[in-house]
Each structure stands twice: as C-alpha cells, then as structure tokens.
Structure 1
Amino acid sequence: MNNASGYGELLFLAIMGYLLIRGMRKFLDLPSRLPRWNKLLDYLWVPAAVLAFGILVLNLKSATLPDAYWLFVLLTIGAVLVALRDYRPARSLLLALSPFLLTKIIEYILLGSDGHVLKQYDTLVDTTQGFSIIWLITFIIIARNQKITLEKERVLREEEEKAKRLIEAQNVELERLVVERTAALTHQAAELRAALTDLRAAQAQLVQSEKMASLGELTAGIAHEIQNPLNFVNNFADVSLEMLSELREEQARPQREPGLEAELLDDIAQNLQKIHHHGQRAASIVKGMLEHSRTSTGERLPTNVNHLAEEYLRLAYQGLRAKDKSFNATLVTDFELALPEVEAIAPDLGRVLLNLFSNAFYAVRQRQLTEERGYIPTVSLSTRLAEGLVEIRVRDNGLGIPEAVQQKIFQPFFTTKPSGEGTGLGLSLSYDIVTQGHSGTLTVDSEPGNTEFLIGLPVGQVS
C-alpha cells in the first residue's frame, strides 16, 4: 500500500469516526450525561492528524496505521459506552459493539505487513465479521427502540411531573382559598353573632314596647271606666253639699217648714246611696285591674271566659275612645251562658283579647275614615262550646285582610300599620300565648269587609 492510498483510507476512517461520534453524541445525549467525555471526543481527530502527518511528511510505510486508528475509534466508543453502562440504550450499544470490536481486534492481530489478513484466516475473519455486523445492526435497532421507549417514558414522566406540580400548585391555591374562605366565614360568623345579639336586644325592646303599648291602651280604658263613676260621685257630692246648705238655711229660719226639711233629707239620702253605688263601682274596677295587673306566675286557674272577654272588650273600646272621642262603634256580644270555665293564665289571655279587640277597632276606624257616611263600625264578640273547645270569635266589618297578608300575619315584626303605630309583635305574641301557653289554636278568616279571629281553648286542665 502506497502513502497516497494509506492517507486516503485514513481520511475516510477519520470522517467515519467523526460521523459515528456525532451520531453517538446525539443518540446518547453526551453533553448532558458525560460532559467531560464529550469534550475529549472533540480531540478524536488529533491521532488521525498525527498519523496523516507521519504518512505524508515522515513517509511512514506501515499499512496497518489506518486500521490502528479505526481500532482506536472503536475502543474510544466502547469506553464511552462502558462509562454509560447504567443507561439502557448504551448497554445495548455496548452489547452490539462488543462482537464487532472483538472481531476488529482479532483482525488487527492477524494483519500481515501488507495490511491484509493472512490467507489462512481470511474466511474465518470474513465469516466472523459478517456475523458481528448483523449482531451490531440488530442491537443498534434494539437500542434505537429502547431510546424511543425511554423518550416516551421521559415525556410521560415530565407530563406526570408537570401535572403533579400543577396539582401541587392547585392544592396550594386551594389551601390559600380555604384559609381565606375560613377567615371570611369566621368573620361573617362573628358579625352574625353580633347581629343576632343586637337583634335579640332589639326584639326584647320591641316586646317591651308592645307590652307598654298594651299597658297604655289598658290604662286609658281603666281611666275612662273609672271616670264615669267618679263623675257621678263628684256630681252627687256637690248636689248634696248644696242641699245641706239649703237645710241649714231652713233650720235657721224663725218659721221652719218640716215638709221641705224632710224632702231635703230624703234627697240627700238618695244622693249618698248613689255616691256609695258609684264608689263601689269604681272600687270594683280598681280591684279587677289590680287582679289583672298582678305578675303572672304561669299558673293556670279556672277562668270565666265570658266575663274576661267582655271586660277586655269594654276596656279596649274605652281606650280607643280616650284617644279619639269622635269615634263610636257598635258592640255586639253573644255569649253562651252555660260555657264551662277553662284552665288559663287570665292576664296572658286578657292580653291576647285586648290585642284582637284593639286591631278590630283599628280596622273599623280605618274603614270609617275612607267609607261613606252610612257605614256603621261594628265589632262582634261571641263564645261557643264546640268539640271540646271553648271558642272565642272576634269579628269586625273593617277593610278586611288580603290573602297574602293572612299567610304572614302571625310572623314576628310583620305589620300593616304605618310606622309608629305598631311593632308587628302583637299577633305574634298572641299566637304564642294561645298555642304554646294554652295548647289552643288561633286562626284568622278574612274577606273584604269582614274579618274574624277564632281562639280555641281546650276545656279542663291543659297539659
């Protein structure tokens, strides 16, 4: 082999080595896996350059120099694959290269001085080299498939890691939102508790206002009721004083008239009887009010419903007339005389009746202000015994209650009266007193021009 052919073969093998190293770098990702080896491979051309210099300049005649360089390239590739033996495609390439490299080593050993294998080994080397090439190609394909599989697994892992990081980020965000929402809910709960406390305080004030309003109406009725007998007492007392003065004058005259004196004494006696009668009337009113004003102990006692209802009807009417003396209404009563007594808390039941009567008088008064002159305000009160219940019916011919309002009329704080004229607790408290305090019923039935409230109280001991 001359120098020109040796140089050409060396150049070809250098180019092949460069292409192999370049392919291996890309296939095995050497810059990231073996950065030092990757830098050293940049100098793989140096031995080829030294040998080329020796052939061209120093006229080296060794025909085995190209084969030596090629063996050096293969050994370098093998060393890189050994360094990457933990990487599965690299192991497969190492397994693919091993028979081919072994064949090349044997072939290099069996080279003659002319650069060719000795003839007696030529067939064996060719056969072995063919087998090693097939082996090499087969395992290169296997390594390529492994590379593809690993790449897919890597992409899948990256996607899983990305999804995991996304889930972790979402979890962090959710935890942050949960913390913020918990803090907001805690703050809202504190505000609601404060609002509930304020509402209870306001409710207590409204209940007290409702009680005071009922007390005011009751007081006005009592004052009006007592005023009549007191007026009689005062009038008859004044007349009696005048008669006593006339009697003294008659007794001071020289000539007295016994008949006139007897007449004056009879009149004075009658006046004193009337004063006593109306004084007893005022005393009975005060006594009755004292009984009703006693603090309720919650004890149920036998109660005459007819007497209680009639008394509070009169008090409610007189209370309204004390506010508006121009108001007049027709009172219609229909009591069942054989009505049995019921076990009840009389002051509480009286408060219910006072509220119903006051609402009835308010309704007819409102209609009177809007209707023609022929309208006659009428409030009716009746009692009956039906199916083991004592029924108390309070009816008025006022404006009536719409159906939508009837459904909410017993709700706390609901009122149809203008602001300042009602708290919206009267019927709510009345409903609780009847249903919870007396195990009874309180219903309403209304149509335009007619409204009726019905109280049902069980006869006998209330459980």
Structure 2
Amino acid sequence: MTAIYTIYKKPFGAVYYVLVALMLGSSLLLFILPNTGANWTEFGPALLGTAECARVTLLGRRQWGGEFISGGMLSALVLFSIFCIYTFDELTPLRVLPLSDFAQQLIYYLAVLFIPLSISLYIARSFVFTQRRMEGQLLEVQRLSKQSFEQEKDRQTLLARQKETLERQVAERTAQLQESLDELRTTQNQLVQKEKMASLGELTAGIAHEIQNPLNFVNNFSEVSVDLVAELLEERQRPADERDAGLEDELLSDLSQNLTKISHHGQRASGIVRNMLQHSRTSTGQREPTDLNALADEYLRLSYHGLRAKDKSFNASFRTELDETLPPVKVVSQDIGRVLLNLFNNAFYAVQQRYQQGEANYQPTVTVQTQVVGRKVEIRVRDNGTGIPDEVRSKIFQPFFTTKPTGSGTGLGLSLSYDIITKGHGGTLDVDSEAGQFTEFRITLPMQVA
C-alpha cells in the first residue's frame, strides 16, 4: 500500500494511517492470541488494504504502465473476496459453487502473488520504457555531438580565417603606426629645434645689448690707451734732462690699468659669445663643474635685455639673492642655462602682462635665489606677475600646452625644462602660484660638487 501511494504520488491521509493501524493491531492480536479462530481479524485488514490499493490505482493520476498494477490489484481483490467467502462461515450463503481446500489455497496464493507480480510488471515495463527513452536520448546526444563537432570544425575554420585576416590587418596597422611614429618623432625633433631656435632668438636680442657694454669699454679704453701711448712716446723723445720720470710712471700705470680693463671686458664679451654658442649647440650630456650663481645672473640679464629689445617701453626690476657659499656643481651647463632662460622669459612675460593691465602702483619684479639645502642645490625663480590659475597648473608641464596666445609659444619650453631637470639631472621642478599675485618655480638638483 505504501508503494502504491508512492508510485501514484498520493499524499498519506487519514485512510492510510487508519488502515496501517488496523494492520498493526491485527498483527499484534494474532501474535498475542494465535488460536482465536477470528478469520476477520486475520484477513480483514489485508482485504481492506488490497481494496485501498485498487481504489488508488483506479482513481489516481494515470501512470504509464499503471494498467498492470490496476489489473493486479483488482484481481487480488476479487480472489481475496472469493477466498474469504469460502473461508468465513458467516459468508456461507454467498457460496455458489463448491470448492475443495486445494482450490481455496490456490485462490489465496494467486491473490497474494498478483500484487507483487503486477508491481514487477510495472517496474519491468518502466525499465523498458526508460531504456528506450535513454537510447533515444543517447542517439539524440550523438546527433547533437556530431552536429556540435561539425559546428566546432566550421567555427575553427572560421576562426583560422579570421585570425589570418586579423594578423594581416595588425601587420598593416603596425606598419602604419610605425610610419606615423617615425613622422611623429621627426615632427617632435623639428618642434624641439624650433623651440631651441625661438629661445636662441630671444637670447640673441639680450646678447646684442649685453655684449655692447664690454665692447664700449674696450673701445673707450683702447682710445684712451692710444692717447696715453702717444703722450708717453712724446715724453720719451725729449732730452734726458727735460724728461719727467714721474709722469712716465703715471702714464705707464694708467696704461696698465686700461689694458687690464680691456682684458676684463674682452673676456666678458668672450664669455657671452661662448654661452651663446653653448646654448645653440646640441647638448652632449656631459656634466662639467658650473658656477650656478654666475649662470643664473648672466641668463637673468640676457633674458631681460632680450625682452627690452622687443618692447622698449617695458621696464622691470630684477634682483638676485645668490648663496655665495654655493660651490661649483657638475651639471650640463647649456641645458641648465636653457631651463633658466625659459623660466626667466616666462617670468618677464608674466610681469609684462600684468604691467600692461595698468594696475596702479605695480612694480614688475623678477627674483632669482640660490641656496644649499642639505645635499641639494635649490634655485628659485619668482615673479609678481599674473600667476597661474588653479585649473591649468597641473597641465603646465605637459607637451604643447601653453597659456600664451597663438603664435607666442610652442608649448614645449616648460615640458623640455621639466625633462632636463628630472630625467637629465635627477632633480625636481615644482611650481607654486596664486592667480593675480605671483608665480615661483623651484628647481632642486643633487649636490654633485666638482
């Protein structure tokens, strides 16, 4: 009965539990009183259980192969009923034909066998059905596998073709990118050269003014020296008793001083020309002992005079705060000079822009400061110009970024300066600024003392 309930998925209700209780009770009673002769106690619950199984199979959800179970249960119920009619004395009036004891026992055993036999037939048929279904599924799986294999083969072929196409496209694209990269490098080199030539043009204007001063001194002292030599020769041509030895000594002393000044200013002019040539040459990358104080002072003056050559109406004050204890430092002097010139040009440009705004009581000022901080050299370039807005401060070291009007700058000056300081010399280049108030660039270089 439990198997039938389970097969037909019928919930265990009150009828099931009542029948189970009757079966257990009758079994217990027969165990306690085996010779009571109460046939209903022995066969009644079994008859009710068989009837319940038949009811469930007839009224329950139809199962594939359930007809075996239904037929077996109905047959068992009929045979059990016939057996009870011929066994129970109280049912004697229902007997139609006489049956021998053998026939009654045969009916009983057939009734008992019909129940497992019907379930076995159901299980066997279910097994056959399941096997056939699995065989069908296996064939379907094989068909799908073959189809999947063919699809995978086609997909692999398609992927191989796509791979060849992509490799060809990648090769073509790589060649195009390489060509574009070569063009970009050529353009970059041209832009760097343009930036260098632009700074050289600005430097030339300052040099023209700066070199004029020592040349004027050389010319002036040369003319005076010629007069002194003529006067000395005239004095030497007099008779010995009329010559003034004191005057000759004085003339010789003045001549010596003039020659010393001519030599000094000549060296000054030579230094300016030498620096100009160094600035125009491509950097060799070789570091040499350099007086950073002299380098900063010289390029500050050259930058100012270069700006003055472009705009005669512009005036600004500049001052130096140089650490006299700063020893010569090994740097690539032409590269550091280029950085300083760029910073000075930007500083003078900023104060010029603020000056042109007509601000009352405004005095354009650019300051350069050097000092030793631990094992590093620090160079500060500060101006009280227009300042740098916060929104663009983080971009000023990017290549081609500039706040100047179109045509006024290449946008490479600060980018090249940053690379020279950080990559070329292992230092740092930082900026601090407040819009409309000031800008200060701070260079730090490792102390590689000569």
Q: TM-score if structure 2 supplies the norm length?
A: 0.58
The amino acid that maps onto 2:445 is L
| CA distance in structure 2 between the aligned counterparts of 1:276 and 1:461, rounded to whole angstroms | 32
For each residue in 1:133-167, what CA deviation from the matched residue of structure 2 results, as whole angstroms up to 9, or x when unmatched?
Answer: xxxxxx99999887655443333322222222333
1:281 aligns with 2:265: yes
The amino acid that maps onto 1:193 is Q
The one of 380, 385, 391 aligned to 2:367:
380
Q: CA 1:239/1:291 → structure 2, altered by over 3 Å: closer, same or farther?
A: closer
The one of 421, 425, 441 aligned to 1:438:
425
Confirm or deny: 8 A CA contact 2:225 2:258 kept in the other structure: no
The one of 203, 206, 210 aligned to 1:221:
206
What secondary structure does 2:367 align onto? Answer: strand
| CA distance in structure 2 between the aligned counterparts of 1:238 and 1:282, rounded to whole angstroms | 15
**How far apart are 1:401 and its partner, in Å?**
1.6
The one of 281, 287, 294 aligned to 1:307:
294
The amino acid that maps onto 1:285 is A
What secondary structure does 1:410 align onto? Answer: coil
Structure 2 match to 1:451: 439
Q: CA 1:299/1:147 → structure 2, altered by over 3 Å: closer, same or farther?
A: closer
1:403 aligns with 2:390: yes
Q: How does 1:239-258 map to 2 (within 5 A)?
A: none
| CA distance in structure 2 between the aligned counterparts of 1:403 and 1:144, rounded to whole angstroms | 82
1:414 aligns with 2:401: yes
Confirm or deny: 8 A CA contact 2:431 2:442 kept in the other structure: yes
The one of 161, 174, 181 aligned to 1:176:
161
**How far apart are 1:300 and its partner, in Å?**
2.6
Q: CA 1:348/1:149 → structure 2, altered by over 3 Å: closer, same or farther?
A: closer
Which sections of structure 1, spanning at least 5 residues, go unmatched?
A: 1-138, 244-265
| CA distance in structure 1 between the aligned counterparts of 2:266 and 2:311, rounded to whole angstroms | 23
Confirm or deny: 8 A CA contact 2:402 2:411 kept in the other structure: yes
| CA distance in structure 1 between the aligned counterparts of 2:409 and 2:304, rounded to whole angstroms | 18
Q: CA 1:321/1:274 → structure 2, altered by over 3 Å: closer, same or farther?
A: farther
Q: How does 1:191-202 map to 2 (within 5 A)?
A: 191-202=176-187
**How far apart are 1:274 and its partner, in Å?**
8.2
What secondary structure does 1:336 align onto? Answer: coil
Structure 1 match to 2:41: none
Q: CA 1:140/1:445 → structure 2, altered by over 3 Å: closer, same or farther?
A: closer
Structure 2 match to 1:41: none
Q: CA 1:338/1:140 → structure 2, altered by over 3 Å: closer, same or farther?
A: closer
| CA distance in structure 2 between the aligned counterparts of 1:161 and 1:297, rounded to whole angstroms | 71
What secondary structure does 1:424 align onto? Answer: coil
Q: 364-373 or 276-285: which moved more?
A: 276-285
Which sections of structure 2, spanning at least 5 residues, go unmatched?
A: 1-123, 228-249
**How far apart are 1:399 and its partner, in Å?**
1.5
Structure 1 match to 2:171: 186
Q: TM-score if structure 1 supplies the norm length?
A: 0.56
| CA distance in structure 2 between the aligned counterparts of 1:230 and 1:213, rounded to whole angstroms | 26
The one of 325, 331, 347 aligned to 1:338:
325
The amino acid that maps onto 2:446 is P
| CA distance in structure 2 between the aligned counterparts of 1:307 and 1:388, rounded to whole angstroms | 20
The amino acid that maps onto 2:268 is S
| CA distance in structure 1 between the aligned counterparts of 2:308 and 2:195, rounded to whole angstroms | 20
Confirm or deny: 8 A CA contact 1:355 1:427 kept in the other structure: yes
The one of 331, 336, 341 aligned to 1:354:
341
| CA distance in structure 2 between the aligned counterparts of 1:216 and 1:145, rounded to whole angstroms | 97
| CA distance in structure 1 between the aligned counterparts of 2:292 and 2:177, rounded to whole angstroms | 44
Q: CA 1:149/1:328 → structure 2, altered by over 3 Å: closer, same or farther?
A: same
Confirm or deny: 8 A CA contact 1:292 1:347 kept in the other structure: no
What secondary structure does 1:167 align onto? Answer: helix
| CA distance in structure 2 between the aligned counterparts of 1:279 and 1:311, rounded to whole angstroms | 19
Q: CA 1:164/1:344 → structure 2, altered by over 3 Å: closer, same or farther?
A: same
**How far apart are 1:397 and its partner, in Å?**
1.2
| CA distance in structure 1 between the aligned counterparts of 2:218 and 2:209, rounded to whole angstroms | 15
Confirm or deny: 8 A CA contact 2:397 2:418 kept in the other structure: yes
**How far apart are 1:273 and its partner, in Å?**
8.6
When the two chains are superposed, the root-mean-square deviation of aligned CA atoms in Å is 3.8
Confirm or deny: 8 A CA contact 1:236 1:272 kept in the other structure: no
For each residue in 1:56-81, what CA deviation from the matched residue of structure 2 results, as whole angstroms up to 9, or x when unmatched?
Answer: xxxxxxxxxxxxxxxxxxxxxxxxxx
Structure 1 match to 2:196: 211
